[in-house]
């Protein structure tokens, strides 16, 4: 399917500012913007980057149609020269980004744009929207999947998603974060997220009896028979009827793999009872799937209580990230180039220390323990600093508590921001969705458990190189810009 | 722009069930489904229906492409006869719905489908998604706008929306709920929601000084100059520079209408100080716009504290309905037709009384006080009941507390569910977005203030006719279906 033309999915002020830059002659000044976020949703210890593929699609498809220009003309705010310029407008700059599926932390750039001011400013809204939305859901999914402790989690939330993309791309992000499948058929068709599903209560109600509904389903889908057992009474009607249908339809065909689903009631109590009934009927391979307003906290509690659950369907609380539904990525100017092409760092001051930006065109390195391959910290450097000498010990500070520090000796580095667009051309091979998901799982597996606690996790250090730190302090003191040293 | 083909935006089980109905010969049985919701987000007293226009677009565009069928074939779960049937699949049934912008209440149908089982089941996911998303945002917007007490509210949240539709249609829903404008340009282009905007902090940072940034903007947009004054220091730098730019650029041209925007800091303190500075400079017509993680509660408190604010920009907390981001509309079978065409009511039982459905094919009437035009209660009736005789007093029960009742005498009725599709043909004239918004405002204006309290509002009564109530009780007793009397 052709991607929509989302060129006009921009805050209106991007256009008035672009027109302003264009008319005032500032449009061609090279500027640098960082996307970063300030707090991890749900008080977690890490977030998962996602949405880059949609940024790539957007940038490649970026153009104004004649109808778009005609529409803008009706606003009576844009010069004809500017509208004429938009007719051939394309993104011609550079974008660096963290690959999808990477654990990310507050304060560090997850995407950096270097482009003419008019272009860099224009793409702000969509870039943020794509990264914020999918990173939110991938992060939530990672929490839910982690709580499920290895039991598969399917994303079931389309009907409660915030719009069609909320469902389609939400399922994609949930898969990146570790979900095994989705209910959303279109996500499978468009993004190869495996679609799955069982039956609704209405299926059971459509038949004269619950047993008939189960029998017909088993005959239709003997290899995928998961029966919803809570339409009437789980233990007195649903499970017995399911057992009878399995015994009469599946077992004679030699099929022992089947399932029941519960979508209401006390899931700990009911699954324990149901498990016992299934086992006593010899259906030890029958899996128990549960759903009903689940999230990572309820899943954790169900498992602690010994609920007999083989897999989870998670709906509205995942697809909307209900407990904390905003990923607060921002897009901030961090540098400009002067007429001589020197990079001049810029800072945004705020009364709130958390809102002060990390200035400059930066590179970000993840520091790994050479023995365990576990990440120890991230380090932001100025783009043209001499590289970190990995043969020497490295001292890392927690920038929020500079008295806290640690020294690492046996480590290696990986650069986090990779080139995605150079001179407007995409230079990045988009990985397959399966590759992204496997990469994410491996990265999360290697995070310290302390960082993966659902509540009150250990804080991962994101440090600034000495040079970058000094620059930031100097800019704060002068409250403005500063020439690159 | 052509709407996307969202045919496959369905839970996968809709397809496996549809295939099941088709193959088992149940696909042609006429069934009735209701969309309704159980609780009002944020503990509010009313919700606002929205999303119907997108349901209409979806239904009219509903078809499977050859690529869709090829994709489904790869799943190895669908019979060739079924896939062949899907090739010419269209919706041929009836849909009744509450017009967009109508205040709605828990338990009553807001959309009813009468169709062949296979069709009625198939459209579940998208219908719910469209109604749930936009009703959620329209309801939230109504709360925010109400808190603002007549001051205009602009929707600014695209960058934090949950996907592109979250932004575009979220802006549409926010407008229905009472917002005055949006930042989302594409919502203006596609749905005629007026787009608006000022400048970002990056505009100020792009210039050598804050004053230069303001001066250039005033020169560019003398009739729409709203200057963002919090990039450096609101009271020592931002407001003085704005005043200077207004005085040097706008006043000489005779322009007195202008504005400043604050996006951080203590908005009560800063706006009081800024208002004083502006007034002392003679800029009494300069409006003060504020933004920064606002919602109905913060807006209410700002106004109570006497903050000097003329309009609000509301972002992430509106576009995601952050404090309660799920509208829990469900889609439940309420009746079937037998071979003789008799309507047989169906009920869904649950251990949780709140999850028991109101059975039957229903009509819903809103009862208005003839003197004040205020709605008193809603009444659900069986589709073929003799009409309520408005010349006689009517006794209304709170169905959750049947000892609570009231008698109304001087009243008139309006039917809430209007025909949208009959026999697969759209019979509904979609109102313009302006008409929907004006209708919504009028409807909300006529609700009792007690229902519009943000917290702990009075509960609006949604009653069942005696006949419908008796049917429900009978079905509950027999735990199943019941012939229509």
Tell me the per-residue pLDDT of A209-265, one tens digit each, with 9 for 90 and over. Answer: 999 999 999 999 999 999 999 988 999 999 999 999 999 999 999 999 999 999 999
B149: its two tokens: 């007490």
Judging contacts by C-beta atoms under 8 Å, the chain B residues touching residue A6 are: 164, 186
Contact B328 A350 (CB under 8 A): no
Contact B160 A129 (CB under 8 A): yes
The pLDDT assigned to B484 comes to 38
The pLDDT assigned to A485 comes to 33
Rounded to a whole number of angstroms, the distance from the CA of A405 to the nearest CA of chain B is 32
B91: its two tokens: 């919706």
The pLDDT assigned to B398 comes to 77
Q: How far apart are alpha carbons B130 and B128 in whole angstroms?
A: 6
Average pLDDT, chain A: 94
B355: left (phi over 0), alpha (psi -120 to 50) or beta: alpha
Q: How far apart are alpha carbons B99 and B431 in whole angstroms?
A: 9
The pLDDT assigned to B483 comes to 42
CATH architecture for segment(s) B12-138+325-478 = Alpha-Beta Barrel (3.20)
Cβ B388 vs Cβ B412: under 8 Å: no
Judging contacts by C-beta atoms under 8 Å, the chain B residues touching residue A479 are: 232
**CA-wise closest residue to A476 among A304, A363, A346:** A346
**CA-wise closest residue to A313 among A182, A188, A189:** A182
The pLDDT assigned to A143 comes to 98
**DSSP-assigned beta bridge partners for residue A395:** A407
Contact A168 B9 (CB under 8 A): yes
Residue A480 has pLDDT above 60, yes or no: no
Tell me the per-residue pLDDT of A222-233, one tens digit each, with 9 for 90 and over. Answer: 999 999 999 889
**How many other C-beta atoms are found inside a 10 Å radius of the C-beta of residue A83?**
17
Q: How far apart are alpha carbons B462 and A272 in whole angstroms?
A: 39
The pLDDT assigned to B3 comes to 53
* A145 — pLDDT class (breaks 50, 70, 90): very high
- Closest residue in A to B329 (Cα–Cα): A160
The pLDDT assigned to A356 comes to 84
DSSP H helices, B90-163, are 117-122, 124-147
**Consecutive H or E run containing A467:** helix A466-478
Averaged over A173-181, what is the pLDDT? Answer: 98
CATH T-level fold of A12-137+325-478: nicotinate phosphoribosyltransferase (3.20.140)
Residues 6+ apart with CB under 8 A from B182: B154, B155, B156, B158, B171, B174, B175, B188, B193, B194, B195, B196
Q: How far apart are alpha carbons A308 and B30 in whole angstroms?
A: 38
Judging contacts by C-beta atoms under 8 Å, the chain A residues touching residue B23 are: 220
Burial class (CB in 10 A: 0-12, 13-18, 19+), A60: middle
Residues 6+ apart with CB under 8 A from A199: A213, A217, A226, A227, A228, B13, B16, B17
Between A403 and A123, the higher pLDDT residue = A123
Choose the weakest-confidence range: A91-105, A358-372, A469-483, B22-36. A469-483
Cβ B160 vs Cβ B319: under 8 Å: yes
**CA-wise closest residue to A196 among A209, A206, A185:** A185
Strands (E), A153-273: 153-155, 181-182, 226-228, 258-262
The model's pTM: 0.96
Residue A20 has pLDDT above 50, yes or no: yes
Rounded to a whole number of angstroms, the distance from the CA of A119 to the nearest CA of chain B is 13
Judging contacts by C-beta atoms under 8 Å, the chain B residues touching residue A14 are: 185, 197, 200
Q: DSSP secondary structure string, A222-245? A: TTS-EEE--SS-IIIIIHHHHHHH
Q: How far apart are alpha carbons B378 and B365 in whole angstroms?
A: 6
Mutant choice from A5, A6, A11 vs B, greatest count of B C-beta within 10 A: A11
Which one of B12, B198, B351 has the shortest CB-CB distance to A195?
Answer: B12
Cβ A63 vs Cβ A119: under 8 Å: no
**Consecutive H or E run containing A59:** helix A52-60
Judging contacts by C-beta atoms under 8 Å, the chain A residues touching residue B270 are: none
- Closest residue in B to A263 (Cα–Cα): B350
Q: How far is CA A318 from the centre of its chain?
A: 12
Between B232 and A60, the higher pLDDT residue = A60
The pLDDT assigned to B478 comes to 81
Rounded to a whole number of angstroms, the distance from the CA of B387 to the nearest CA of chain A is 30
Which one of B162, B183, B232 has the shortest CB-CB distance to A349?
Answer: B232
**How many other C-beta atoms are found inside a 10 Å radius of the C-beta of residue A143?**
27
The pLDDT assigned to B485 comes to 33
Cβ B448 vs Cβ B458: under 8 Å: yes
Q: How far apart are alpha carbons B347 and B328 in whole angstroms?
A: 19
Q: How far apart are alpha carbons A9 and A350 in whole angstroms?
A: 28
Percent of chain A predicted with pLDDT > 70:
96
Averaged over A38-51, what is the pLDDT? Answer: 97
Cβ B351 vs Cβ B434: under 8 Å: no
Q: How far apart are alpha carbons B117 and B479 in whole angstroms?
A: 22
Report strand pairing: B30-36 vs B111-116: antiparallel
Cβ A197 vs Cβ B12: under 8 Å: yes
Q: DSSP secondary structure string, B358-426? A: --SSEEEEEEEETTT--EEEEEEEETTSPPP-TTS-EEEEETTEEEEEEEE-SEEEEE--EEEEETTEE
The pLDDT assigned to A26 comes to 87
B79: left (phi over 0), alpha (psi -120 to 50) or beta: beta
Contact A206 B21 (CB under 8 A): yes
Q: How far apart are alpha carbons B7 and B69 in whole angstroms?
A: 11
- One digit per residue, pLDDT tens: chain B, 485 residues? 445 789 999 999 999 999 999 998 888 999 999 999 999 999 999 999 999 999 999 999 999 999 999 999 999 999 999 999 999 999 999 999 999 999 999 999 999 999 999 999 999 999 999 999 999 999 999 999 999 999 999 999 999 999 999 999 999 999 999 999 999 999 999 999 999 988 999 899 889 899 999 999 999 999 999 999 998 899 999 999 999 999 999 999 999 999 999 999 999 999 999 999 999 999 999 999 999 889 999 999 999 999 999 999 999 999 999 999 999 999 999 999 999 999 999 988 776 667 788 999 999 999 999 999 999 999 999 999 998 999 999 989 876 776 778 889 999 999 999 999 999 999 999 999 999 999 999 999 999 999 999 999 999 999 999 999 999 999 988 865 544 33
Cβ B270 vs Cβ B292: under 8 Å: no
State the complex-level ipTM: 0.95
A374: its two tokens: 């576990």
Cβ A288 vs Cβ A264: under 8 Å: no
Q: Crossing angle for the helix pair A210-220 and B12-23, nearest 10 degrees?
A: 100
B202: its two tokens: 């990056």
The pLDDT assigned to A141 comes to 98
The pLDDT assigned to B49 comes to 98
The pLDDT assigned to B393 comes to 93
């Amino acid at each position: 399917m052709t991607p929509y033309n989302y060129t006009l999915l921009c805050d209106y002020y991007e256009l008035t500012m672009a027109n302003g830059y264009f008319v005032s002659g500032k449009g061609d000044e090279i500027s640098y913007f960082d996307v970063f976020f300030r707090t991890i949703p749900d008080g977690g210890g890490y977030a998962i980057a996602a949405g880059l593929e949609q940024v790539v699609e957007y940038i490649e498809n970026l153009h104004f149609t004649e109808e778009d220009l005609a529409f803008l003309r009706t606003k009576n705010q844009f010069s004809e020269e500017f509208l004429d310029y938009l007719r051939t407008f394309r993104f011609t700059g550079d974008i660096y980004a963290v690959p999808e599926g990477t654990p990310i932390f507050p304060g560090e750039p997850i995407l950096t744009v270097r482009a003419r001011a008019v272009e860099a400013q224009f793409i702000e809204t969509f870039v943020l929207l794509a990264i914020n939305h999918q990173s939110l859901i991938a992060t939530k999914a990672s929490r839910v999947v982690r709580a499920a402790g290895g039991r598969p989690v399917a994303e079931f939330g389309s009907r409660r998603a915030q719009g069609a993309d909320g469902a389609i791309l939400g399922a994609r992000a949930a898969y990146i974060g570790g979900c095994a499948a989705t209910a959303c058929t279109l996500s499978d068709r468009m993004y190869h997220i495996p679609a799955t599903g069982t039956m609704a209560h209405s299926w059971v109600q459509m038949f004269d009896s619950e047993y008939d509904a189960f029998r017909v389903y088993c005959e239709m889908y003997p290899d995928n028979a998961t029966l919803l057992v809570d339409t009437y009474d789980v233990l007195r009607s649903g499970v017995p009827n399911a057992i009878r249908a399995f015994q009469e339809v599946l077992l004679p065909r030699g099929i022992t793999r089947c399932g029941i689903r519960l979508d209401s009631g006390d899931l700990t109590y009911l699954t324990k009872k149901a498990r016992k009934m299934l086992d006593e009927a010899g259906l030890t391979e029958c899996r128990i799937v549960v759903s009903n307003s689940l999230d990572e906290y309820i899943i954790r509690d169900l498992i602690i209580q010994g609920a007999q659950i083989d897999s989870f369907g998670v709906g509205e609380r995942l697809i909307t990230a209900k407990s904390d539904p905003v990923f607060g990525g921002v897009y901030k100017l961090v540098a400009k180039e002067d007429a001589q092409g020197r990079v001049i760092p810029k800072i945004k001051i705020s009364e709130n220390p958390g809102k002060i930006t990390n200035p400059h065109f930066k590179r970000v390195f993840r520091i790994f323990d050479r023995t365990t391959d576990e990440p120890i910290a991230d380090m932001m450097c100025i783009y043209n600093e001499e590289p970190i000498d990995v043969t020497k010990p490295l001292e890392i500070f927690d920038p929020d508590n500079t008295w806290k520090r640690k020294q690492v000796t046996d480590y290696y580095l990986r650069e986090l921001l990779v080139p995605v667009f150079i001179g407007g051309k995409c230079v990045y091979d988009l990985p397959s969705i399966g590759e992204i998901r496997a990469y994410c799982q491996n990265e999360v597996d290697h995070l310290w458990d302390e960082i993966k606690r659902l509540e009150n996790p250990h804080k991962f250090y994101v440090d600034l190189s000495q040079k970058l730190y000094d620059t930031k302090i100097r800019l704060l003191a002068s409250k403005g810009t500063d020439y690159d040293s």
